[in-house]
Homo-oligomer: A and B are copies of this chain.
Amino acid sequence: MADIDTNQANERALKKLLEAEPHWVDLGIAQDVVPGMKKNLILHAGPPVTWEKMCGPQRGAVMGALIYEGLASGPEEAEKLAASGDIDFDPCHHHDAVGPMAGVVSASMPVIMTENKAHGNLAFNTLNEGIGKVLRMGAYSEDVITRLQWMEKVMFPVLKRAINALGEVDLKEIMVQALQMGDELHNRSRAASYILFTRMAPYLSETSNDVTETNDVFRFMEANIHTFLGFAMSSAKASLDAIRDIEGCSVVTVMARNGTDFGIQVSDTGDQWFTAPAAVPDVLLFPGFTREDVNPDIGDSAIMETLGIGGFAIASAPAITTFVGGTMDSITRRMLAMYDITVGENDVYQIPFLDYRGSPTAIDVRKVVKTGTAPFIDTGAAHRKPGIGQVGAGLVDAPMEVFEKADRALKE
């Protein structure tokens, strides 16, 4: 393709991306609603990976999911089953889904169903488990499994009644607001979680048919400042899926990591993955951990930066700068560099303290390669061993190699 055609294709993609209208429309159980989902299939974050090459926290999450599904009675049996060949593994992205950190989705898990009303497509993500020892960070202890079961048996029906009574929730509008309230919607979605909670509460109350269960759900959501992350990620996925397969378009549609490899997909080249080894993020560690504990970059949550927020809007979230170990000034500079590698600016996702400038949107593979500036991601970090959990949060650049590979493929 000539550059001029690619420029036109990219402008079309940007326009379509800005037109996205992600709405939360329902909750479902994965095997009932996620395309191709089945009992012996485990979805995971990032590009394809075999059990043999899978990193510690993703293995831990798979083991936890097999126990939760009743396919294994404990960690040892789960590990054996995972390695047996009887379990299929597939990226979430092959099933219109995204998953944070390990990104494991199994058949019985409740999933958020987010529709891009401008395009008609659905995207899926699991409900957030909270912080600490959680499946997405590779933990699989009994309390983790018990919580997942409670989420399926208690929280899911309570929330489903509420969203069905409410009808749907305009997630884009919440994200617009949250970017003016200290969130960048990757590492911090506190304001968005409060807004969603406030919007849901009357419906949770009205549709309650068991006071104790409803109260438990209220308490769980009240305590979880990451509730919105799953909604943000499914919004980004639903928005970006509308710009897949545009001929000649060099815009990145997926950035995802499985803790072993970092992979991207690009509009023109459809489902093709371009991968390279995942880097270890530059992490502000929780007490008691060292840099040697940090697993390489992991999770589908880089879909937020692919959309043009998260790290690409980090100047919206000053509280995150200290959490990830930066200063406001140094971090804003890294964010500003993202305008050099994107097609345009968002019309509603804006950064108040950059005079409401729209966030840098639609990563152009050609610009990344030409400028040598890699997309900048702010992210959580998991322990490299299964069963432990989060060790901190930090910053990481996407590996240049994946963009160079994609650039070559686009030129062919």
Contact = CB atoms under 8 A, between A and B. Distances in A.
A181 B189 CA distance: 11
Contacts of A352: 182, 318-319, 328
A113 B353 CA distance: 36
Interface in A164-203: 180-182, 190-191, 194-195, 197-199, 201-202
A76 interface: no
Given A180-B182, A319-B180, A218 B202 contact: yes
A88 interface: no
A408 interface: no
A197 B191 contact: no
Copies in the complex: 2
B202 A194 contact: no
A289 interface: no
Interface in A204-230: 204-206, 208, 211, 214-215, 218-219, 221-222
A352 B318 CA distance: 6
A86 interface: no
A355 interface: yes
A201 B182 contact: no
B201 A191 contact: no
A356 B319 CA distance: 9
A218 B207 CA distance: 13
Contacts of A319: 180, 352
A202 B211 CA distance: 11
Contact of A355 (B215, B218, B219, B328): B328
Interface string A214-251: 11001101100000000000000000000000000000
Contact of A205 (B205, B328, B353): B205
Interface string A78-101: 000000000000000000000000
Given A182-B352, A352-B319, A353-B318, A197 B205 contact: no
Chain A at the B interface: SS class: helix
Contacts of A353: 318, 328, 353
Contacts of A197: 194, 197-198, 201
A326 to B, nearest CB: 13
Nearest to A179: B182
A222 B199 contact: yes
A205 B211 contact: yes
Contacts of A356: 318
Contacts of A221: 198
Interface in A318-360: 318-319, 328, 352-353, 355-356
Nearest to A216: B202
A202 B219 contact: yes
Contact of A181 (B191, B208, B215, B218): B191
A242 to B, nearest CB: 29
A356 B221 CA distance: 29
A180 B218 contact: no
B194 A218 contact: no
A338 to B, nearest CB: 19
Contacts of A206: 211, 215, 218
B194 A222 contact: no
A215 B198 contact: no
Nearest to A220: B202
Nearest to A191: B181
B205 A194 contact: no
A218 B197 CA distance: 11
Nearest 6 pairs between A and B by C-beta?
A318-B352, A194-B194, A202-B218, A181-B182, A181-B181, A202-B219
5 contacts: A181-B182, A182-B182, A205-B208, A205-B214, A328-B353
